Amino acid sequence: MNTTSLPPADAGPGGPFARWFAPLAYAYIGYGWWQSSIASLSGAAAAQSPVPLWAAGVFAVGARVAGWLLEAGYYVAWWRWRGRVLSFGRFFQWTVALSTVDLLAEAARRSEPTAAWMRAARAWLAGPRPEAGLNVSSWAIAFGGAGLLTLLRLTLVADVQRRALGSRWMAPALLVAATWVASRVVLAWSRDLLTGSSLR
Amino acid sequence: MRRTLGMMWLGLVASILVLGLVWLADRGRSWERPRWEVARFEPILIEAPRGERSGTRVVAVHPGCPHCLAGLAALVGRRDASRDTLGLIALVVDWPRRPGEHFARSLGVDEVWWDEQGLWRRHWGRRVYGETYTFDRRGRMVESGHVLSPAGEVIAPAKGGEGG
């Protein structure tokens, strides 16, 4: 069995951040996501919600951390099944670090550019759907956020796996791409089932 | 370990396939086009009419949904401040017990009806609380929307071919 693990924490290319800088970096990423969640939640629904905005933001960050844990666990379990070993802790750190690309995409989606070229640039970067409304189709919600930043994020996730496993591009890239497409399809199906014929 | 993981992946793929089949079956169903027919619902509260109505706006509310109740309250406030001639009706859905009069009065609408038979979900195929339906005088749906829709209440005009 070929067992390749990510390099130890003190190896340069192994970790996303230098050890002394990591706590500050993760705290900043957490704060960034908290701010992003607050900005996303501060709409009409939040104004009429009995839950304070800050608490909703904390809950949203908690849900995101759970998502990172799930994502890291998913890839680690896949490679374990294929007889390869990824370090869960290290891959989780990379997952958190690479979420800054998503954070950037979120910020781009929330931006309100006035110039046409900036709106076009936003669509290329963060996908053609700038924000999810009530009457947006499930498929537009699922795939409308796909832009260059999504491609960058997926490429970087595949690259971390490629480097950690010492493998070629093909297998990690296929796995990451297939996982992303499947997750989007599941999202669209789930939303359709939750809304039925409502909002159409 | 690998056998366990293999079973796990198999379970995951099977779950996604089952979800897809459920989605296909659900999408294939034909839903009844919403019509406002009072005989199909149970009256809870009917206030004296405020004037001649040009139609009715029905809001699907669930007593346990704070968002849709707050959205309905905002809608009532906007309606009272305008010259809207639509009658405002709350339709209590997915609620097993007959709603009390105290609760009905607290909504501040013209009428409160109870969907005792679950028509809203089972026949209309609707699943989102707070959705609004505007009906003309003959009970035909003109448009639908949601109380939390930021651009007003209208989301979609009524479509002609919506189910049987």
A29, B52, B71, B135 from B83: Cα distances, Å: 49, 12, 19, 17
Integer Cα distance of B4 and A80 in angstroms: 11
Residue A11's pLDDT is what?
A: 40
Which residues 63-102 in chain A show a CB within 8 A of chain B? Answer: 77-78, 80-81, 83
Residue A46's pLDDT is what?
A: 61
Residue A15's pLDDT is what?
A: 80
**A49: nearest CA in chain B?**
B67
Cβ distance B125 to A78 less than 8 Å, yes or no, reads: no
Task: Give Rg (Cα) of chain A.
Answer: 18
Contact between B144 and B135 (Cβ < 8 Å):
no
Each residue's pLDDT tens digit in chain B (164 positions)? 888 999 999 999 999 999 999 999 999 999 999 999 999 999 999 987 767 788 899 999 999 988 888 889 988 888 878 777 888 999 999 999 999 999 999 999 999 999 999 999 999 999 999 999 999 999 999 988 888 775 444 555 554 433 33
Nearest residue, CB atoms, A134 vs list B1, B66, B155: B155
**B152 shares contact with chain A (CB less than 8 Å):** no
State the best of A138, A181, A197 to mutate against chain B, taking most chain B CBs within 10 Å. Answer: A197
Q: At what angle do helices A88-110 and A116-126 cross, to 10 degrees?
A: 160
Integer Cα distance of B70 and A111 in angstroms: 28
Residue B160's pLDDT is what?
A: 43
Integer Cα distance of A60 and A26 in angstroms: 16
> Which chain A residues have a beta carbon less than 8 Å from that of B70?
48-50
- ipTM value of the model? 0.80
Cβ distance B162 to A199 less than 8 Å, yes or no, reads: no
The total of other beta-carbon atoms located within 10 Å of residue A125's CB is 18
> Which chain B residues have a beta carbon less than 8 Å from that of A135?
149, 155-156
**Domain ranges across chain A:** 17-195
Integer Cα distance of A48 and A29 in angstroms: 28
Cβ distance B23 to A189 less than 8 Å, yes or no, reads: yes
Integer Cα distance of A123 and A9 in angstroms: 37
Cβ distance A49 to B70 less than 8 Å, yes or no, reads: yes
Torsion of CA A172, A176, A177, A179, to 10 degrees: 140
Residue B1's pLDDT is what?
A: 80
CATH, domain B38-157, list 3.40.720.10, 3.40.30.10, 3.40.50.1820, 3.40.50.460? 3.40.30.10
Mean pLDDT in order along chain A per 10 residues (200 residues): 47 72 94 90 64 84 96 95 92 96 91 87 85 74 93 96 92 97 96 86
Nearest residue, CB atoms, B155 vs list A50, A193, A199: A199
DSSP-assigned beta bridge partners for residue B140: B35
Cβ distance A194 to B127 less than 8 Å, yes or no, reads: yes
Residue A73's pLDDT is what?
A: 96
Residue A173's pLDDT is what?
A: 97
**B156 shares contact with chain A (CB less than 8 Å):** yes
- Residue with token string 């666990």: A73
Contact between B109 and B132 (Cβ < 8 Å):
no
